[in-house]
């Protein structure tokens, strides 16, 4: 883990001491703004000032953690480097930014949502050394960590042993909930509540980019997303599980890419769900003797309202099998992030195409959803220890998809 420490020039000796302390704790040093001699006035030394700035920004770019120290007057200096760190954190998710000091800065940057304020640098060293949410930033090759995005009833932390809840901020803001991390049959697992812990976030308002980014930053390699769905086909009865292999997108308001400025990403979506992960899920369902459908097309609508009969019949004419409000853009963003993603869809009701049935009600959906939850928890316990693959086309497609 590489650390960059910036401060006012009056703090040079303190910075040198902190570097020795950081090295003793096993951290690498990416750079130090105070290593350069003070060049004044800058107007008369533009070339050397430019050189120093380029060197510093390069060091910031290579750092995992950027720490800015304020002196007793609340001054820090290093505003160019601080601005570079903010820009990089927004675009790439690192470095993680800390400001140390009791004194309020005059810069509004310090109130940015990506900036973490601490009173003492020792608090940061302890946090970086002990906080699993940051340890996971040190990506480990050939390691599997499973992210579970839980729909209603399936974000239960009791699935995990020795779990802890972690709050994380991403370049796209806060994810839907704190993330619960722990072990499931000795496998590292992170659970995120898609709609919030109290199901308070409607589908259109879910911060999908923050959710996927957070799981990626916490080291997840695979995502299993559980989702409640309505059935568009008579043979998919309430209580059945479906493992989709295709989707149809009918959303209208959602950001579907991490690359929305300066770059364009044309990510392949011919096979949107991870084939290898789907095999794990299907084999687990067979082992558990759960009624399931090995494939199907999920149609994602904007919501939060349910369909009209006309819409339901139209969706059936498109050969869609199930309908929900959350798979898109979640699956798209997972592919951009290089994550293997598959979905466990739980049929809670028939959509309103069936003339012989009363229109679907929320009460009916919730009743069946709770009945489904236990069987899916059992399925997760079955399949997660058997997920071993680390090489997959899901991880490679992004490498040839970005222009700019």
Catalytic one among 32, 245, 249, 349?
A: 349
- Spatial contact of 179 and 191, defined as CB atoms under 8 Å apart: yes
Peptide bond into 381 cis (omega under 30): no
Residue with tokens 């290089």: 338
Active site (annotated) includes residue 349: yes
Residues 283 and 242: their CA atoms lie apart, in Å, by 13
Residue in 188, 245, 249, 351 annotated catalytic: 351
Cα within 13 Å of Cα(120), Cβ side: 3
- 351 an active-site residue? yes
Alpha carbons within 13 A on the beta-carbon side of 73 = 8
Beta bridge partners of 124: none
Distance (Å, rounded) from C-alpha 164 to C-alpha 73? 38
For the chain, give the secondary structure using H, E and C. CEEEEECCHHHHHHHHHHHHHHHHCCCEEEEEHHHCCCCCCHHHCHHHHHHHHHHHHHHHHCCCEEEEECCCCCCCCCHHHHHHHHHHHHHHCCCEEEEECCCCCCCHHHHCCCEEEECCHHHHHHHHHHCHHHHCCCCCCCCCEEEEEECCCCCCHHHCEEEEEECCCECCECCCCCEEEEEECCEEEEEEECCCCCCCCCHHHCCHHHHHHHHHHCCCCEEEEEEEEEECCCCCCCCCEECCCEEEEECCCCCCCCCCCCCEECCCCCCCCCHHHHHHHHHHHHHHCCCEECCCEEEEECCCCCCCHHHHHHHHHCCCCEEECCHHHHHHHHHHCCCEEEEEEEEEEECCCCCCCCCCCHHHHHHHHHHHHHHHHHHHHHHHHHCCCCCCHHHHHHHHCEEC
Catalytic positions, written as ranges:
349, 351
């Amino acid at each position: 883990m590489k650390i960059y420490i910036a401060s006012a020039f009056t703090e040079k000796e303190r910075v040198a001491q902190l570097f020795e302390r950081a090295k003793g704790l096993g951290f690498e040093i990416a750079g130090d703004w105070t290593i350069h001699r003070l060049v004044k006035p800058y107007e008369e030394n533009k070339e050397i000032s430019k050189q120093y700035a380029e060197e510093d920004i390069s060091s910031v770019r290579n750092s995992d953690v950027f720490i800015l120290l304020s002196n007793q007057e609340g001054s820090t200096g290093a505003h160019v480097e601080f601005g570079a760190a903010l820009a990089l954190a927004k675009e790439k998710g690192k470095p993680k930014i800390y400001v140390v000091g009791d004194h309020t800065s005059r810069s509004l940057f310090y109130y940015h949502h990506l900036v973490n304020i601490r009173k003492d640098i020792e608090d940061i060293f302890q946090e970086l050394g002990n906080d699993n949410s940051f340890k996971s930033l040190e990506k480990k090759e050939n390691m599997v960590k499973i992210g579970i995005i839980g729909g209603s009833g399936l974000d239960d932390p009791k699935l995990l042993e020795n779990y802890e809840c972690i709050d994380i901020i991403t370049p796209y803001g806060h994810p839907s909930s704190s993330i619960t991390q722990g072990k499931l049959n000795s496998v590292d697992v992170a659970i995120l509540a898609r709609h919030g812990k109290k199901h308070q976030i409607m589908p259109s308002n879910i911060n999908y980019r923050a959710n996927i980014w957070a799981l990626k930053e916490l080291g997840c390699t695979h995502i299993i997303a559980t989702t409640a769905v309505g059935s568009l086909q008579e043979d998919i009865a309430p209580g059945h599980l479906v493992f989709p292999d295709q989707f149809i997108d009918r959303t209208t308001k959602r950001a579907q890419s991490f690359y929305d400025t300066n770059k364009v990403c044309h990510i392949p979506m011919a096979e949107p769900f991870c084939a290898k992960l789907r095999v794990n899920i299907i084999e687990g369902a067979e082992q558990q003797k759960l009624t399931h459908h090995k494939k199907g097309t999920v149609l994602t609508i904007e919501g939060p309202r349910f369909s009209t009969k006309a819409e339901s019949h139209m969706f059936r004419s498109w050969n869609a099998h199930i309908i929900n409000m959350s798979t898109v853009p979640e699956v798209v963003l997972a592919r951009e992030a290089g994550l293997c993603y598959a979905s466990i869809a739980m049929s809670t009701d028939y959509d309103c195409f069936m003339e012989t049935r009363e229109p679907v009600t929320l009460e009916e959906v919730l009743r069946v959803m709770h009945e489904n939850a236990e069987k899916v928890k059992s399925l997760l316990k079955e399949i997660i220890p058997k997920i071993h693959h680390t090489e997959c086309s899901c991880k490679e497609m992004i490498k040839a998809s970005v222009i700019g």
